[in-house]
Amino acid sequence: MIKRFGVSMEPELLDKFDSFIKKYGYKNRSEAIREIIRERLIDETVKEGGGESFGTIVIVYDHEVGDINDRLVDLQHEYTGLIIFTTHIHVDRRNCIENIVVKGKNSEISALAQRLRTIEGVSSVKLLLTNYTYK
């Protein structure tokens, strides 16, 4: 069941919102508001560490730094219950990107991402989590 409610906002903000709706192809304001609210609620759930999510950890690293490949593999073996699969991309002669697809408890996924950040030679770690709690 859908419930209706009113929203009040300044004309300038409404103009920007309408431009946003057009730019991203939403059918109407209601659809856009629902999606924005869902996204914000998911972000809060993930930030609080509760629940389960799925997502991606993207890391960029220099494969010539020490024993980084062994350290990355060893760490991923510690988290085999979370990791669904990984992909490895050779960016140039030294740098690689690894995409780690995960599913599990938010707190455990965040812990894995944090541990990846501490490995010498890793220059970037981006964590993107989402879930399907808010339909």
> What tens digit of pLDDT does each residue of 90-100 get?
999 999 999 99
Residues 6+ apart with CB under 8 A from 128: 55, 56, 57, 58
In which residue ranges of the chain is pLDDT below 50?
A: none
Residue 56 shares a structural domain with residue 15: no
- Considering the domain architecture, whether residues 113 and 68 belong to the same structural domain is answered as yes
130 and 40 Cβ atoms separated by less than 8 Å? no
Number of domains observed in the structure of the chain: 2
pTM of the model: 0.74
Give a yes or no: residue 97 inside a domain.
yes
- Here the CATH number for the domain that contains residue 97 is 3.30.70.1150
* Domain that residue 121 falls in: 52-130
Residues 81 and 93 in one domain: yes
